[in-house]
Structure 1
């Protein structure tokens, strides 16, 4: 069982999951976000992924988490996102053990995580919020840089700190997420490729397999 909702904090989604008996491993697609996850009393950070991660957990495991989008996570954690790219890091490697112990022992992990994030909240950089919005709108990276008043070099550096990778990788990931969402709603793959901004269906297939690790049809199954 998986459910998500908007957090009280901007740019943040709260989600929870309980692993049912016999559940297969899950394929977690990259999404340009990082998550702080409470799992059965253990708290860790899932950094921004560049490719899909296949994860499994024992039946009955409970997970509560906050997903930080738009470059909001590094301000809360005090760590640049590119130090966490493609990593799963215990939270007590980043923050004092007393803080993490309080989270791990919380009776209401969802509320504890939100309070933890509220206490440490730093408003994400306006330019990085604009970068995230631009990539979701399908704007070219050069146009995004111009709109933010940043040189390509500065955009690259600041995107890596905010998202874990540069703007071109972020754009690829966001486009793949858009395509998968359309395909899951039943759109034909040829239509998906056009709507998501790929050159053609073959381009869509190559990109999904590169980022998700499996072809689009297998991913949907």
Structure 2
């Protein structure tokens, strides 16, 4: 039987997750502004930020993942987010292959593979500059529904600088990031049992039709279909 579980990681805002077994139906991975480092028997893979739903082709029986908070993975992994947007890239294409093989073996031999993957990330993070805290403030402001112009001004950047920094950190511009964050806000409310019309209004959509249209464009499904399917 397939199972999925997650828990907070020790890196701020990050999540550890593990998946075992093969489900009869794999739900799509929805855009969330995050990047993941994923272990499977095939090795280590970086999952870039998605602009639309990703439909995984999971051939293995066990996976462990480290999901970075938006904007934090590039500083650790050493790759601009835009370079891996909507892609799954072997870590060996970004780091020395010998190093990646040793790390994959280390994680694969551990009894708690998610914890071992976290240890790999923490060691790497300790030797690299921390992400710019301004990026976290950008995420918070966009998630609060502030317009892009306001966000740029309060970051002390021009709109062009905000766009450039966003591409490197999040994989897409601030307008797309705001759209993805709003999608997650609306779906979170709906999953908590809030009626769709109220979920739409609370997330910042003009109305329920606007919410439904955005969900279709970003996921290929209606809100109802997402809520009925496995999470």
Structure 1: runs of 5 or more not aligned: none
Q: CA deviation at 1:112?
A: 2.8
- Written as runs of structure 1 = structure 2, the 5 A alignment for 1:2-151 is 2-20=4-22, 22-58=23-59, 61-106=61-106, 107-108=109-110, 109-121=113-125, 122-151=129-158
Q: CA deviation at 1:19?
A: 2.7
SS in 1 for 2:185: helix
Q: Is the 8 A contact 1:33 1:48 kept in 2?
A: yes
- Which runs of structure 1 show a deviation greater than 4 angstroms over 4 or more consecutive aligned residues? none
Aligned mate of 2:224, from 190, 203, 217: 217
SS in 1 for 2:28: strand
SS in 2 for 1:3: strand
SS in 1 for 2:70: coil
Instruction: State the alpha-carbon separation in 2 of the partners of residues 153 and 45 from structure 1.
Output: 28
Instruction: State the alpha-carbon separation in 2 of the partners of residues 182 and 84 from structure 1.
Output: 30
Q: CA deviation at 1:139?
A: 1.7
SS in 2 for 1:117: helix
- Written as runs of structure 1 = structure 2, the 5 A alignment for 1:184-203 is 184-203=191-210
Q: Is the 8 A contact 1:48 1:81 kept in 2?
A: yes
Structure with the higher fraction of residues in strand conformation: 1
Paired residues in the alignment total: 219
Cross-structure match for 1:168: 175
Instruction: State the alpha-carbon separation in 1 of the partners of residues 218 and 136 from structure 2.
Output: 23
Instruction: State the alpha-carbon separation in 1 of the partners of residues 227 and 21 from structure 2.
Output: 20
